Amino acid sequence: MTADDLATLTGRPSNEVAPWLGPIEAAMTEFQINTPAREAAFLAQTVHESDGLRAVAENLSYSAGRLPVVWPRHFYLAPDEPDGRLDASLFEHHPEALANVVYANRMGNGPESSGDGWRYRGRGLIQLTGRTLYTEAGAALQLDLVNDPDALLQPVAAARVAGWYWQRVNGNALADPATAQSFEQLTVAINGAVLGQAHREQLWKQAQTLLSAEA
């Protein structure tokens, strides 16, 4: 794989994505992502999840109208009835307050007042989220992600944690068949649902072509 390959997959200039090349290759080696089928699937999923290696921190700046769509159990927008939900207009483009509400008391996070929702929001190439996963990944990789979650904004840690999470969800086993069905199962394992599948599959096919050309 070359910086030009990453540029093709991300749609960005090669000099912008070049800093990611070494860390991604090292992570693939560390976690036995070592066949064309595994490499293509890993690249497709991580490039999609990170918006072309651009977004290594979760974007939680939402409009009021979008909040009830994304988190219908948490927010309402007038003239709807509250039904125990919160007024979406109060959280419009307030990412820290939003994260502390929607991620409170789940994924190992404390209550809203703890600030864990914001502290352990999605970061890295596969958007690691929640205190539990930060703790597990940090322990496995000997990184203090609990006290330094922003370490995941840097290419080396972001790529290694992506590799660790890939291993955690049995990514290699799901990637090996290289079928549309297994790739969809991989998406669910990583994301929790089949979201953005058309784009993931487009990237997957691009990566397969690039890697086969180098073989």
Average of pLDDT values for 132-148? 97
Nearest Cα to 166, choosing from 12, 24, 60?
A: 24
Average of pLDDT values for 184-200? 91
For 11, other C-beta atoms within 10 Å of its C-beta total 10
Q: Tokens representing 150?
A: 């922003």
pTM score of the predicted model: 0.92
What is the percentage of the chain residues whose pLDDT exceeds 90? 92
**How sure is the predictor about 189, in pLDDT bands with cuts at 50, 70 and 90?**
very high
Q: Tokens representing 123?
A: 């970061």
Contact (CB, 8 A) for 10 and 53: yes
Structure letter (DSSP) for residue 151: G
- Cα torsion through 54, 59, 64, 70, rounded to 10: 100
* Range from 16-30, 91-105, 180-194 carrying the lowest mean pLDDT: 180-194
Omega of the bond prior to 82 within 30 degrees of 0, cis?
no
Quote the pLDDT of residue 193. Answer: 82
Nearest Cα to 119, choosing from 133, 20, 46?
A: 133
The model's pLDDT over 63-117, given as tens digits with 9 standing for 90+, comes to 999 999 999 999 999 889 999 999 999 999 999 999 999 999 999 999 999 999 9
DSSP string, 7-36: HHHHTS-HHHHHHHHHHHHHHHHHTT--SH
The model's pLDDT over 165-186, given as tens digits with 9 standing for 90+, comes to 999 999 999 999 999 999 999 9
Average of pLDDT values for 146-158? 97
Instruction: Decide if pLDDT at 135 tops 90.
Output: yes
As a whole number of angstroms, the distance between CA 42 and CA 207 comes to 9
Instruction: Decide if pLDDT at 215 tops 60.
Output: no
DSSP string, 124-139: TTTTB-SHHHHHHHHH
Instruction: Decide if pLDDT at 195 tops 90.
Output: no
